[in-house]
Structure 1
């Protein structure tokens, strides 16, 4: 005869628990894949969440897609790495303010056989010119990500249009960095990658770093609060608290302490 009261109490407790869970503060961060795939966010987010009580939910996609998602209102904070696109995002009113967060670099990787003879070089434009000259296989992300945007910029600066060779020696994967590295590994192709994803990549096969150190390979990351004027549902206070933490002493120290294979791969440089 006690079943109904017990069941009613259980239902009430379940509804209360659901209500409390629904009220737990959280933000959605539209982030580039390298911060997620490298393990950086998994490493630093628990510190912020413990300090703030705010849960951070990450959507990791290419920079171009992350920006489009933010424009559509599917996020509170944008964390990507294509400064011109980020500045346009803010100039068009979709973001409140862009802040430098950290940097690392890109590297040009390729097969140990190195058919283009670029090993040991420090000029990315000269290396790409040699790859095009011998028509060595090159795997491009082709996904409008920050890395893809940078790669296209290097081809253009070298006076080359790889689209003319699309489907021949120049292959566009339309995928993230990890998948593109897998393609490059499988076909012994050259590709451009951010160093953090390269260090965390486990299926290198015959691939190795062949070109690095060119100042043009500098890779800056920025962080932006999505404008609540454009999307009223943006959790502006919680999002700004996350940005302030990332760009403040605690967040910058957390970023600097992250290591892959004993190497620091993200260097904080918030103003």
Structure 2
């Protein structure tokens, strides 16, 4: 046994180096350094694999919490994996880095407990205006986009997505709110939506995992009031948890919001399940 291992090692040594002396870099996109809310941050733009070789125009998928130490590479990896199966259209992934998530993604809260825990929270409107007025035009001017823009976020960023869908529906063409923190401010977002007359809004993929309690109540109320534009991904009885909702459901969200003509998806189990929802208080 020792002799055979030595022979194998010797063969590797004699075969020469296993890697090139000058490896080539892998380039996925670009980072733009910008400033808002008193903090410098990056807008990370990751391009489809054939972007440089083609003249195609692509949808834009804006991913909140999209810093390099946040969700940008996860989102890009899931999007790339979707391309292998034709689950969703190729897109340009734009990661919008957050620095103080609660300050930037959540509206003010009347809850003393929430204000004590997150004293900086409450500037979502200003962050949204910056995203729409500054970031989107910058990206549209630099990259080949086809006019479609999607907003994606989970947890606090999911609340931001749901609030944008509700208050500024024209800003994006489709939305994905993954496990949104709809317990925030005594579930005020869902209560407000349920008290308004329904209007036409873009498609929304909204998921619910194991959150329970006020988060579940707010999500169910929101979905009940949202109408037919919503795909409700009810995963309360599945393996999806709040911590892994982006890992588990972003592929489904992209398939729902950026569908393709692939006719083999059901055969391989790539079916987006949109659930019915019952009454809630």
TM-score by length of 2: 0.30
> Higher relative contact order by CA 8 Å / sep ≥ 6: 1 or 2?
1
More helix by percentage: 1
More strand by percentage: 1
